Amino acid sequence: MKTQQELIKTKPKTELDYDITEGWTQEQLEKQHDLILKYGPKETSYCAAFEAEHFDVLVRFSEAIHALDKIQSDNYLSKYYFDQLERKYNDHLTCIEHNSQKIEITEATRTEDVPTIQGLAWCSKLAIQGNASSTFAKWQYVGAGSDDREARAYQSVLYAPTLPRANTINAAEGSITRSGESLRIIGIFPSTFATITVKESACFNASTGGTNLNRNFFPSNPIVHTVNTQPFTIGILINFNSVTRWG
């Protein structure tokens, strides 16, 4: 397996690639990973499969999340989505209800990983930029992959990605919203998406390459997606509040 340093050397660079760890030793990278685990923002990701016939309602639910985001920044609909996935993950009988229609969650898996070092540095740039004209690309794309390497805060790629990434600008492909002190990212992958066992995921600032905000590894019960069967979603929740589950 290649070390992080070897990967950095081989990864093609674009202006959207941002890595403050260049030149760090593997030991330094691991130490920084531990610091983020203990003290950094907490990240939880869900991967869930849905009934194919409920896909249209799922997209309309996503459109409602986008519409709500335009009028209030604290988005209770995206919170509801994550709450229902958590309930499903805990084996409760549940579904997402929207406009009196049900979106049945057939499977859900969850993992607790870390935001990346370069992702948090990019977040700092974005926080300074605000709504000014975009020098720095915003988090926008959700990627899925099938590699089973454990997540580390210094990983800058998905190791076995399946393209295309979900573009959250389009309601049909997901959303990026806030609820409370949490950034909530949803990527929607239609049933036509290529066959994949979803073992890794991340949010990026570019449709290919770019900087990743996080990397997740789903170690148990990964969603096995077969083309033209069920759609699935990847939900990434990053809590910036002063709460920890670690240390």
Partner 1 sequence: MKLEKRGRGSLDVSYIAYFPQYQKAVLHDLISEINRDHDQNLISEFASVFEKNKSFNYNDNLIKADQIIEKGDLLVNGGIDRTIDAMRGTVSPWRYVATGIVGSAFTPAVSDTVLLNEATGRIDMNDVNRGWHEQFGMKIFYGGIHSEMTGNNIIDEVGIFSASSGGTMLNHTSFGTAQIARLQNPQATMYRQIMIFAVFVEFCPALP
Query: Rule CB under 8 A: which residues touch partner 1?
Result: 20, 28, 31-32, 35-36, 39-42, 69, 73-74, 115, 117, 120-121, 123-132, 134, 138-139, 176-178, 180-183, 239-244, 247
Shortest reach from residue 173's CB to partner 1, in Å: 16
- The smaller minimum CB distance to partner 1, of residues 192 and 242, is found at 242
Q: Residue 168 or 233: which CB sits closer to partner 1?
A: 168
To the nearest whole angstrom, how small is the minimum distance from the Cβ of residue 120 to partner 1? Answer: 4
Closest approach of partner 1 to the CB of residue 148, in Å: 26
Closer Cβ to partner 1, 12 or 247, answer by number: 247
Half-sphere exposure in the Cβ direction for 228 (13 Å, CA): 0
CB of 146 to partner 1, least distance (A): 29
Q: How far is the CB of 77 from partner 1 (least distance, A)?
A: 16
Residue 229 vs 241, nearer CB to partner 1: 241
Which of residues 17 and 69 has its CB atom nearest to partner 1 in the complex? Answer: 69
**Rounded to whole angstroms, how far apart are CA atoms 206 and 235?**
18
Residues 197 and 219: their CA atoms lie apart, in Å, by 11
Listed residue (115, 108, 116) closest to 43, CA to CA? 115
Q: Exposed (0-12), middle (13-18) or buried (19+): which is 70, by Cβ within 10 Å?
A: exposed
